[in-house]
C-alpha cells in the first residue's frame, strides 16, 4: 500500500480531474442458482488500468464482474454479476464520465430459460440452454449524445488486427486495445496492440501494470490531456 | 502460517497415517478458448476440509478446480480445469487412498461441440451449445473394488434431506454432507447436515473451518479411527 501511495505521488497527473468509468472481469450468466456461463477473464488488466487511471489523477469508477481481486486504492468499485447488471450500472453513470474503458469480457449471450431451482440430472435428460443476446454496453455508450471518449478491448485467439479494427469501426469508437488470448489471459504479463485513427501501435510485451500506464498515456494524448 | 502450525500441533491426530484424497472448487467446461460453463463454488469448504484432514494427521491430496485460494500447508495440490481432467486425476489416485471426499461442484455436463477458436457474435447467429454428460466421479470411486471410504457433498436449493439421502443411496456411499446453497456458497460460514446409515446429524451453523473439523471427526468415528 505504501508503494502504491508513492507511485501515486510520483505519477504524471495527465488525467487530473477527469472522470473515468471502466468495466473489468468476466460476467456470470446464470443457468440455475449455482451454474452459469462465464469466461476466463481474471480482471487483472482492467484492475491495472483502473489503478493507472487513478495514479494519473482521474476520479475512477470500476464496475467489476466476479473476481477475487482487491479494489485498487482510491477507486470506487461496484461489483456486479451478469452482463445485464453491468449494463444497468454503466448506463446510469456513463453520461457523467469523460472517458469510458470497456475492459470486461462481457458475455455476448445470457440464458433465456434460467431455472429458479438447481437443475437435477435425473429429471428429464440433458437440459437445453436457450441463449439470447445481451446488450452491447460499449456500442451503447459510444452512441450516447455527448458520449465519453470510448476505449474498447478485443481479446482474440487469431486475426487480431482484422477483428480489432472491425470492432472499432462497427462500434464507432476511437481506440481499441487488442491482445491475443494466449498472451495474456489469467497471467501477470500481456502483449497489447493499440488501434486508433492513426493505425496500429504495438506495445512491447510487459507486465499488465506497465501496459496499463502506457494505455492511460495514450488515452491522455488522444483526448488532448497530454 | 504460524497460527496454522500451532493448530496443526494441537489438533487430535485422529487420521494419523491415513491417505485422504479430495476434490474442491468448481470445474470449467469450455465452450470456446475463453468461454465456458462453471458454477459458483468458491472452493472454501473443500480447502477447509483438506486443511482439517492434514491437521488430523492425514496425508492429503487435493484435486482442485480453478479457484483463487492458496494451497493449505502440507497438502499436495493438483490443479485441474474440467470435469474430465478431475476424473482422470482422481481415478489414477483413488485406489491408493483410504478416504475419498468429493467436495468439488463437478459439472454434470460438458460442451460436446466446444470451438477451437473464439466464437464471433457476427457469424451465424446464436450459437447452439450441445451438452453431454460427464462421468460421475464419486459414484465411480465408490464402485471400485476395494474402494476408499467415500464421502459426498450435496448442495441443494431446496428439499435437502430428500435429495441428499437419494444421492447417498444412488451412489452407494456411507456419508453425505448436505447444505443449502443459500447458506454457504461463496461465504466463510456454512450450515451442514451429515447423512449416514444412522440418520441425519445437523451441525450448528459455524465457520467452514469449524465445520470441516467436525466432519473430519465424524469420518474418523465412522472409519473406526476414533
Judged against a pLDDT cut of 80, whether residue A6 lies above it is answered with no
Q: Across chain A, where does the E strand assignment appear?
A: 19-24, 29-30, 35-39, 59-64, 76-79, 99-102, 109-111, 131-133, 149-156, 175-180, 189-190, 193-196, 199-202, 206-207
**CA atoms of A62 and A56, how far apart (whole Å):** 15
* Active-site annotation holder among A39, A179, A190, A225: A39
Which tens digit of pLDDT belongs to each residue from A60-72?
A: 999 999 998 999 9
Q: Which ipTM value was assigned to this complex?
A: 0.81
Q: Which of B184, B181, B179, B174 has the alpha carbon at shortest distance from B151?
A: B174
Q: Is A109:A30 a contact under the CB 8 Å cutoff? A: no
Q: Which of B209, B224, B216, B226 has the alpha carbon at shortest distance from B20?
A: B216
A183 sits in the region (left: phi over 0; alpha: psi -120 to 50; else beta) called alpha
Residue B82's φ and ψ, nearest 5 degrees, are: -95, 165
Which tens digit of pLDDT belongs to each residue from B137-152?
A: 999 999 999 999 999 9
Q: Is A60:A117 a contact under the CB 8 Å cutoff? A: no
Burial class for B141, CB neighbours closer than 10 Å (0-12, 13-18, 19+): buried
Query: H or E stretch including B110?
Result: strand B109-111
Compute how many other C-beta atoms are within 10 angstroms of the C-beta atom of residue B105: 27
Chains A and B form CB pairs within 8 A to the count of: 83
B-chain residues near A133 (CB < 8 A): 121, 126
C-alpha separations of A191 from A137, A157, B87, B190 in Å:
24, 13, 34, 42
Q: Is B23:B106 a contact under the CB 8 Å cutoff? A: yes
**CA atoms of A75 and B43, how far apart (whole Å):** 28
Compute the nearest-CA separation of A107 from chain B (Å): 8
Compute the nearest-CA separation of B106 from chain A (Å): 10
Contact across the interface for B38 and A34, Cβ inside 8 Å: no
What sign for the dihedral angle of Cα A160, A133, A79, B24? negative
Has A39 been annotated as catalytic? yes
pLDDT band at A1, cuts 50/70/90? Answer: low
Over residues A96-107, the mean pLDDT reads 97
How many separate domains does chain B show?
1
End-to-end CA distance of chain A: 27
More confident residue, B12 or A182: A182
Q: In B56-111, which residue ranges form alpha helices assigned H by DSSP?
A: 83-93
Which tens digit of pLDDT belongs to each residue from B44-94?
A: 999 999 999 999 999 999 999 999 899 999 999 999 999 999 999 999 999
Judged against a pLDDT cut of 90, whether residue A150 lies above it is answered with yes
* Active-site annotation holder among B39, B134, B179, B225: B39
Residue B31's φ and ψ, nearest 5 degrees, are: -95, -40
Q: So what's the pLDDT on residue B140?
A: 97
The residue assigned the cell 463454488 is B41
Contact across the interface for B34 and A28, Cβ inside 8 Å: no
The residue assigned the cell 478446480 is B65
Contact across the interface for A117 and B38, Cβ inside 8 Å: no
Q: Which of B184, B161, B164, B181 has the alpha carbon at shortest distance from B173?
A: B164
Chain B: residues touching A (Cβ < 8 Å) = 28, 31-41, 68, 105, 107-109, 117-121, 126-127, 129, 131-133, 155-158, 163, 181, 185
C-alpha cell at B183: 447458506
Domain ranges, residue B116: 2-222
Q: So what's the pLDDT on residue B33?
A: 87
Percentage of the residues of chain A whose pLDDT score is greater than 90: 73
**CATH number of domain containing B40:** 3.40.50.10300
Contact across the interface for B157 and A117, Cβ inside 8 Å: yes
Contact across the interface for B118 and A155, Cβ inside 8 Å: yes
Smallest Cβ–Cβ distance between A157 and the set B117, B126, B185 belongs to B117
A-chain residues near B108 (CB < 8 A): 121
Amino acid at each position: 500500500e505504501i508503494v502504491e501511495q508513492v507511485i501515486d505521488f510520483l505519477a504524471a497527473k495527465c488525467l487530473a480531474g477527469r472522470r473515468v468509468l471502466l468495466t473489468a472481469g468476466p460476467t456470470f450468466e446464470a443457468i440455475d442458482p449455482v451454474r452459469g456461463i462465464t469466461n476466463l477473464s481474471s480482471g487483472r488488466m482492467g484492475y491495472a488500468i483502473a489503478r493507472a487511471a487513478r495514479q494519473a489523477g482521474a476520479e475512477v469508477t470500476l464496475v467489476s464482474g466476479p473476481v477475487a481481486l482487491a479494489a485498487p486504492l482510491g477507486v470506487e468499485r461496484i461489483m456486479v454479476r451478469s452482463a445485464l447488471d453491468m449494463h444497468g450500472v454503466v448506463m446510469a453513470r456513463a453520461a457523467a464520465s469523460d472517458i469510458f474503458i470497456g475492459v470486461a469480457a462481457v458475455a455476448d449471450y445470457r440464458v433465456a430459460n434460467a431455472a429458479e431451482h438447481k437443475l437435477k440430472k435425473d429429471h428429464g435428460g440433458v437440459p437445453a440452454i436457450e441463449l439470447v443476446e445481451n446488450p452491447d454496453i460499449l456500442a451503447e455508450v459510444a452512441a450516447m449524445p455527448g458520449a465519453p471518449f470510448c476505449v474498447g478491448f478485443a481479446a482474440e485467439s487469431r486475426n487480431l488486427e482484422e477483428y480489432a479494427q472491425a470492432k472499432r469501426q462497427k462500434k464507432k469508437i476511437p481506440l481499441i486495445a487488442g491482445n491475443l488470448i494466449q498472451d495474456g489471459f489469467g497471467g501477470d504479463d500481456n502483449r497489447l496492440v493499440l488501434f486508433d485513427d492513426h493505425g496500429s501501435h504495438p506495445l512491447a510485451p510487459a507486465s499488465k501494470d506497465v501496459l496499463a500506464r502506457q494505455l492511460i498515456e495514450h488515452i491522455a494524448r488522444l483526448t488532448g490531456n497530454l
